[in-house]
Amino acid sequence: MEHLNPEGLRSPPPPASLGQEIYALAERLFPICRSITGDGVRQTLDLLSGQVDLQRHEVPTGTQVFDWIVPKEWNIRSARIAGPDGQTVVDFADSNLHVVNYSVPFKGTLALDELRKHIHTLPEQPDLIPYRTCYYAPAWGFCMAHDRLAKMPDGLYRVEIDAELTYGSLTYGEYLHRGQSEREFLLSAHICHPSLANDNCSGLALLAMLAKSLKAKKTRYSYRFLFAPGTIGSIAWLSRNEDRVHLIDHGLVLSCVGDAARPAYKRSRRGDAFIDRAMAHVLGREAGARLIDFSPYGYDERQYCSPGFNLPVGMFQRAVHGTFPEYHTSADNLDFIRPEHLEDSFRILTEVIDIVEGEWTPLNLFPKGEPQLGRRGLYAALGGQKSSGATSMSLLWVLNLADGRHSLLAMAERSGLPFRELAAAARLLSDHGLLAEAAPRGQPGINLD
């Protein structure tokens, strides 16, 4: 739409919202044929590098990563099925979901009965294309709408998959935002899914924009952003960073963050890690939000939470993977995700980061009775709750619980007040000489000042 000012002259369009920016990046990621290896992953990292300067890592085929071995690299150029009349029935160029991901190359002529053995459909969703893979068991196949398969006549079909499996490498990218401390917050998203908008173009785009938003900020923690193929990618990263994972104090895996469902959080294996408490606090103020106990099924949180590491890593999503009808089908398209939901997910993550950054344990320096707040001008400093962000109730809660044993998050959990209000109250009380620090800010034993 053309924008005109009152004089009838062209004016620039209004700036895009944050949600629109995240959506636009997801839109650019959507057409790329990604897998656990290959040029699609590299092309995706190239796009994400436009937001932050990613460091790229290549792990050669055949590399042992714990109990796994990096497979051959897969790349595909084209694939199609032509019917008895020579007309194209299925074409990879129309949708990269049409080919079973990691299919070995194939060329031949097959009768329909034989070809059916290599075709995957969803009879219960007859107009959708399923997403299927064969990463570690050599095979070939096509995916298509069940309605289209039902209309295919008997006869001979010409089949060709122009793909290759070669000795190459597995690729992943990471970006480290350095804070005052070496202690880390790990944020991870899987990069292996092809044209599935929610799972996981949404996670990749949101994570890249979150990293970009931190670039100019001074933080206490260091933030590591990891874009790696599912399972084998996180296992490869863990195997290469085993000597550093002890620095990870908090972690989140992101997937399915752009749909209309209410937000959901899956706890870490520990169940009571700081990240579990911070997410519970934020989502506890979101109508309809869900908290889910850990299970060893899901995305890469199950690798980070494997018993040999047991890292404090949970998973944030909206629609829970495997539970919505669009999951792993062609219905997970760009119409399924929306800018407003992406922006809402971004807001939730920044609130969690604010808690991680703002956590500390205050000590009341005047603990016998309430200190007189009026003569110190504290009630006036509240400014109708607008100037400071604190409230009179938050002042009273902080003073009462500032016994050296309650951190700000513990105060928020007990009082039911938002963390940000208690943090603002603690700042105000500290500025007026009523509070000291009982323990270093951040995790116990970590001096971040």
Q: Write the pLDDT tens digit of every residue in 102-147.
A: 999 999 999 999 999 999 999 999 999 999 999 999 999 999 999 9
CB atoms within 10 A of CB 445: 8
Question: Shortest CA distance to 39 belongs to which of 207, 204, 194?
Answer: 194
CATH code where residue 381 lies: 1.10.10.10
**Has residue 411 been placed in a domain?**
yes
When pLDDT is averaged across residues 406-416 and rounded to a whole number, the result is: 96
In percent, the amount of the chain with pLDDT more than 70 equals 92
CA distance 423 to 431: 12
Average pLDDT over residues 264-291: 97
Total domain count for the chain? 3
Residues 181, 222: Cα–Cα separation, whole Å: 6
**pLDDT on residue 37:** 98
Interatomic CA distance for residues 416 and 28, integer angstroms: 41
Q: Are residues 93 and 212 in the same domain?
A: no
Q: Does residue 449 sit within a domain?
A: no
On whether both 46 and 185 belong to a single domain, the answer is yes
CB-CB neighbours of 194 under 10 Å = 19
Evaluate if residue 441 carries a pLDDT over 80: no
Pairing status of strand 73-82 against strand 156-166:
antiparallel
Domain co-membership, 66 together with 105:
no
Residue 40 shares a structural domain with residue 84: no
- pLDDT confidence tier of residue 7, bands split at 50, 70 and 90: low
Residue 448 has pLDDT above 80, yes or no: no
SS3 244: coil
Instruction: Kindly state whether residue 423 falls inside one of the protein's structural domains.
Output: yes
List of E strands, 115-230: 119-120, 142-143, 156-166, 169-177, 184-190, 222-228
Residue 405 placed within a domain:
yes
Mean pLDDT, rounded, for 338-353: 98
Confidence band (pLDDT; 50, 70, 90) for 384? very low
Q: What is the mean pLDDT of residues 5-32?
A: 82
In a domain, 9, yes or no: no
Domain boundary among 321, 336, 357: 357
Residues 189 and 331 in one domain: yes
Q: Which of 127, 117, 72, 135 is nearest to 95 (CA)?
A: 127
Q: 343 and 379 share a domain?
A: no
Contact residues for 80 (Cβ-Cβ < 8 A; gap 6+): 88, 89, 90, 91, 92, 93, 159, 160
Q: Coil, strand, or helix at residue 140?
A: coil
Q: Are residues 366 and 314 in the same domain?
A: no
Angle between helix 339-358 and 419-431 (nearest 10): 40
Q: Do you find a cis peptide bond into 200, omega within 30 degrees of 0?
A: yes
Domain boundary among 357, 379, 406: 357
In this predicted structure, the answer to whether residue 14 has a pLDDT above a threshold of 80 is: no
Provide mean pLDDT across the span 49-53.
Answer: 95
Is 103 contained in some domain? yes
Q: With respect to residue 4, please indicate whether it lies within any of the assigned structural domains.
A: no
1: confidence class by pLDDT, cuts 50, 70, 90: very low
Residues 290-338: tens digit of each pLDDT:
999 999 999 999 999 999 999 999 999 999 998 999 999 999 999 999 9
pLDDT of residue 382: 64
- 325 and 193, same domain (yes or no): yes
pLDDT at 376: 81
Q: Is residue 445 over pLDDT 90?
A: no
Q: What integer best gives the mean pLDDT of the chain?
A: 93
- Assess whether 434 and 378 both reside in one domain: yes
CA distances from 293 to 266, 267, 274, 322 (A): 6, 5, 15, 16
- 381 plus 306 within the same structural domain: no
Among 2-6, 179-183, 270-274, where is mean pLDDT lowest? 2-6
Length of the chain: 449
Confidence band, pLDDT 50/70/90 cuts, at residue 447:
very low
Query: Structural domain of residue 88, as residue ranges?
Result: 76-166
Query: Cβ(94)–Cβ(154) under 8 Å?
Result: no
Residue 9 pLDDT: 59
| 87/4 Cα distance (integer angstroms) | 49
Please report the pLDDT score of residue 6 as a whole number: 52
- Section 343-349 average pLDDT: 97
- When pLDDT is averaged across residues 277-302 and rounded to a whole number, the result is 96
User: Rg of the Cα trace of the chain?
Assistant: 26
Q: Is the pLDDT confidence value at 386 over 70?
A: no
Residue 380 pLDDT: 66
**Residue type, position 61, single letter:** T
Task: Give the predicted TM-score (pTM) of the model.
Answer: 0.92
Residues 252 and 223 in one domain: yes
Phi, psi of 292, deg, nearest 5: -120, 135
pLDDT at 331: 98
State how far the Cα of 141 lies from the Cα of 98, in Å rounded to an integer: 9
305 backbone dihedrals φ, ψ, rounded to 5°: -95, 10
Please tell me the predicted confidence (pLDDT) of residue 5: 55
CATH number at residue 260: 3.40.630.10
Chosen domain end from 166, 192, 223: 166
Indicate whether 300 belongs to any domain.
Answer: yes
The pLDDT, as a whole number, for residue 391 is 85
Secondary-structure percent of the chain, ordered helix, strand, coil, rounded to 5: 30, 25, 45
Domain match, 280 and 198 both: yes
Which pLDDT value is given to residue 12? 64
- Whether residue 434 is predicted with pLDDT greater than 50 in this model: the reply is yes
